[in-house]
Chain A
Amino acid sequence: MENSTLISIEALKKHFLTSGGRFTALNGIDLKIGKAEFTGVVGPSGSGKTTLLNIIGSLDSPSEGRAIVLGQSISDLNPKQAARLRRTELGFIFQSYNLLPVYTVFENVEFPLLLLKLDDSQRRKMVMDSLEWLGLTDKVKSMPSQLSGGECQRVAIARAMVKKPEIVLADEPTANLDAANSHHILKTMVQLNNEFGTTFIFATHDEKVIGYLKRKISLIDGKVTTDEIRNN
């Protein structure tokens, strides 16, 4: 574990009510994740990876136990406080990119900064910097529909990174990409992790992603089975 702890999870449980009764997605998770980690939560479908990421991202709350993110207990946050945490400290990368379809690349990347109410010139500089990191400066005016899958995911990363958040949560970021694009994106994220000290947490079962991880947390049936530090 590197540096200070950003995320502390203790005896975390998450239950869902389904038509077949109560389903336990997370069943007593204990974890600590520190600054600048490049960590992956790995496991098969239904193992609870996305649920764990959603709780860390304050999009969901624990049924039992505690999840403390950047000093704030997720269970205790009201919707406004949770939105503020996401707005200021967290970046999200999704499997299907989730770009806003009627916005250009520039506007998509600019969106989180609009919510932070930064002024025009500051926003412009930050967006252009972010697009430059991802090699997208020639796509500024393109619409998402005009981009390839790899380009869309790079825009999504630029959007997650533009405000230089403490933590980026990436849920199956390479699931819709071919091998070349996956490696390109993962290298970019490693570079951003090294350069800015941003903590990256992945939910994945993609071997390509696993190959880049510095820490691999394996999850099966809502329980951590292994937690290994790797030398990449």
Chain B
Amino acid sequence: MNLLFKLAAKNLIGAGLRTWLNVIVLSFSFLIIIWHKGLLDGWDRQAKNETIKWETGGGQYWQSSYDPYDPFSLTEAHAKIPSTLDSLVSAGNVAPVLITQGTIYPRGRIQSILIKGINSNQKLLKIPSSLFIKNSEEIPALIGKNTATDNGIKEGDLVTLRWRDVHGTFDANSIKIIGIFDTDVPSVDMGQIWVPLDHLQKMMGMPGEATIIVTDKEQQGTVNSEEWKFKNNEFLLKAITDLIKMKSVGGFVLYIILLSLAMLAIFDTQILSIFRRQKEIGTYIALGMTRGQVVGLFTIEGSLNSVLAGLLAALYGIPLLAIQASHGMSIPGGSKGFGLAVADRIYPVYSLGLVITTILLILLTTTIVSYMPSRKIARMKPTEALRGKIQ
């Protein structure tokens, strides 16, 4: 086997341009597959980390009627915050959030909105709720940059807010935008307004109540109540996981196309090699190689294309991917509309597992593609091969 590797390497290098064309095409495939997968992995990691920091924390207790996809459930979805969490709420280590529907009238236009009440002392989420403490406005409010941009709202603006309290009575007041926060997590930004929890409880007539309670990981299972159901991050981040999976399927199609192109080049070269090198094949057999050894030699020659491609891809790919991993990749502005966390820049993550899997995948497919045409050698008559007669 060692001998076959040496001979195959020699033949491959000796083939010159034919080899390098294959190797270049294959190295592109290596690089684009790794880059694309790294980008998805980076997005996945970034989206989940940001969503945990801004929205889900270490998990959430949901009031049993709460259904984020059914706005009508919000009327019923509120309950007293369990007393077992009182000390943690006071310390800011859990963050109860009361959610209700409302309407704002920015610049004379009507806009439906979710009103979310959150404690000013919470330390769990990145929502800059501490700004509430510094403001003595009647109703201070925070909004995300995208909501502000969409509605033409600036910091310091007074906006009319209308809501319906626990008794079904409509009420309205002016709120002052005391801060605009920038986040990569659209689900805490788009169509939402954040006000102090105690204010919203008073506005709604729901003292001490919340719709969800954001906790850290350690609080899982500490609330033993039919009213509150714990949702872990696996559940809360499912939308992101599903989207990445969907993107991965799309990416898989891209891999197949890229791999097919590269494999077609290898297959074509192998066919051409066997066609053009019949005399050489006959000579190998005359000199004492078995047909199996010759098939092995040609298969290894084909497979070594992917080894050379891996080395070439490493040569120009490592610096390229490293630069991109440190500078990130700019994402077009409109992508916030996806409804999922997409940062302005995605930093691809290239794990060792990803690189090794890609190398093995390409090596395996190249070997198979190299072997298939090489089997023809086993059926060749050495006497005909020696004469270079097409078989």
Contact = CB atoms under 8 A, between A and B. Distances in A.
Interface of A: 50, 54, 57, 59-60, 79-80, 83-84, 86-88, 92, 94, 96, 98, 100-103, 107, 111-112, 114-115, 117, 159
Given A83-B288, A102-B10, 7 more contacts: A60-B383, A83-B285, A86-B287, A87-B287, A111-B287, A112-B287, A159-B287
Given A59-B386, A96-B279, A102-B15, A107 B10 contact: yes
B14 interface: yes
B383 A102 contact: no
A112 B285 CA distance: 11
Nearest to B283: A98
Interface residues of B, number: 24
B282 interface: yes
Contacts of B283: 94, 98, 100
A102 B288 contact: no
A59 B11 CA distance: 24
B291 interface: yes
Contacts of B286: 57, 59, 86, 92, 94, 98
B279 A83 contact: no
B290 A102 contact: no
B26 to A, nearest CB: 21
B287 A92 contact: yes
A79 B383 contact: no
Contact of A87 (B14, B15, B288, B386): B288
B383 A59 contact: yes
B289 interface: yes
Contacts of A59: 285-286, 382-383, 386
A124 to B, nearest CB: 15
Nearest to A83: B290
B279 A98 contact: yes
A98 B282 contact: yes
A98 B293 CA distance: 19
B280 interface: yes
B263 to A, nearest CB: 24
